[in-house]
Amino acid sequence: MKKYFVTAISTDSGKTLVSALLVNALQADYWKPIQTGNANSDKDTVKRLVYSGNPMIHPEAYSLKEPLSPHAAAELEHIEIDLNKIVVPDTDNHPLIIEGAGGVLVPINQKELMIDLIKKLDVEVILVSNHYLGSINHTLLTAQALKGYQIPVKGIIFNGPPTPASEQIILKHTGYKHLLSIPPLEQITGDIVYQYSIRLFDRWDD
């Protein structure tokens, strides 16, 4: 079973959209181990957007009410997130797309960060970088953290207005494979996700 962890350089970078693309492209299952702000669950969004096959959408290990960092949302519910209780679900040998919460240095509890969960799960990362002033710095810092933890990276997906100069310098300094660039979308539908998932699949093993 191949496992891919979708993380990003900041919150609201497009991890859920990218996760849906990957589920479509790879005929994969989906799992978000830690969900905050559970009134708007990301697994429900993925289920709505995915056309291909009949993917298993696995339940969260932790589903927290407030849309805060995991450690803060858990503390409000008098919970401490325990990495040992986050166990990869059985997917019957289908690929598994795992969506993170926030970026790699988001705290999970008072001692551990999201990157510690990534390391524990023994997965390959797909990094989402969205374009804004400062995103080059944030992307390279994220790449440096992943390298320091010796976490493999399958590649990078850019999300937002086309910015070739930013993409070029990021690819040069990280050495990451460019998997896809997603322009601003007026609406996100199953048809749009399907179209971009085909483009992603075509570049997957180039």
Catalytic residue annotation: 32
How many of the other CB atoms lie within 10 Å of CB of 131?
Answer: 19
What is the per-residue DSSP string for 65-125? SSSS-HHHHHHHTT----GGG--PPP-TT--EEEEEEEETT-BSSSS-BHHHHHHHHT-EE
CA distances from 91 to 32, 58, 68, 164, 204 (A): 14, 9, 29, 38, 21
Task: Specify whether the backbone of 150 is left (phi greater than 0), alpha (psi in -120 to 50) or beta.
Answer: left
CA atoms lying within 13 Å on the CB side of residue 87 = 4
Residue from 19, 30, 32, 36 nearest 57 by CA: 30
Residue with tokens 């986050």: 86
